[in-house]
Structure 1
Amino acid sequence: MIRILLSAVSVMMVSYLLPGVSVTSFWVAFLFSLLLAFLNYTVKPILVILTLPLTVLTLGLFLWVVNTIMVLMAATFINGLTISGFGWGLLFSLVLSITNTFLFDISKR
């Protein structure tokens, strides 16, 4: 549960950095983080297997696209979170991953 809260903090931070992403409240960021965790646990493994040839051909870079798809999928179900296109989704996914890694590392100490 702490990871979900930290992820919600990351979503809020990244939404302030990127003009193509808007979040109306912390509650919306929390729900988005919860749904994203669920989708990453259930849908992402299937997408990774289906896109394995592309992932191998791009030396793993296609996983960024898979992460972006997961973020955009979660954003479509959450009212109050808006991502203004695939490019902003890709950037949001990348910065969110970096921010989450940083916050999760700090929380372990």
Structure 2
Amino acid sequence: MRSFIVRVLINGLALWIASWILPGLDISSSATTAALEKSGVTQGTDTIGIILAYLFIGAIFGVVNAFVRPLVSFLSLPITILTLGLFTIVINAAMLYLTSWISSYTPVQFSIDSFFWTAVLAAIIITVISLVAGRVPGARRG
């Protein structure tokens, strides 16, 4: 359980940095902000709502990577071998698109513009950040 929470935090951080660098990634959290304001929290509501939105999308991305990505990676193993592993970037971009599609059914919307290269660059950024954050002492303990 602890490793899942750490993974969600790392995913949220990676998604935040990727959306900060790339203008085609966007997370809108109007429902989260409205729910916080309704509960009586008014100071810093926008910041808390954005943080919760990134953590929520990070959780969805973590679940997609835990359950869907291994199957897709296994089925695309011949293509991955032929491309010397570069096809994993396309798989990661597809997982981002799947996360975007799943989030369209939630109050927090994660959107990627229609340009495919935004998803590929975001996948590269998220992979690098996840690798670096995973090497931090204490992040891999479960």
Q: TM-score, normalised by structure 2?
A: 0.69
Q: CA separation in 2, counterparts of 1:51 and 1:84?
A: 25
What is the Cα deviation at residue 107 of structure 1? 4.9
**Larger helix share, 1 or 2:** 1
What amino acid does structure 1 have at the position aligned with 2:91?
V
TM-score of the two chains, using structure 1 as the length reference: 0.88
| Mapped pair 1:6 → 2:21 | no
Equivalent in the alignment of 1:26 = 51
What RMSD, in angstroms, separates the aligned Cα atoms of the two structures?
Answer: 1.6
Residue 35 (structure 1) aligned to one of 60, 69, 72: 60
Alignment of 1:70-89 (within 5 A): 70-78=95-103, 79-85=108-114, 86-89=116-119
Unaligned runs of 5+ in 1: none
* Aligned match of 1:62: 87
Aligned residues: 109
Aligned equivalent of 1:93: 123
State the structure with more CA Rg.
Answer: 2
Contact 2:8 2:55 in 1 (8 A): yes
Q: Secondary structure at the match of 1:59?
A: coil
Matched to 1:32, the amino acid is I
Where has structure 1 moved over 6 Å in runs of 4 or more?
A: none
SS state of the match for residue 103, structure 1? Answer: helix
Unaligned runs of 5+ in 2: 29-49
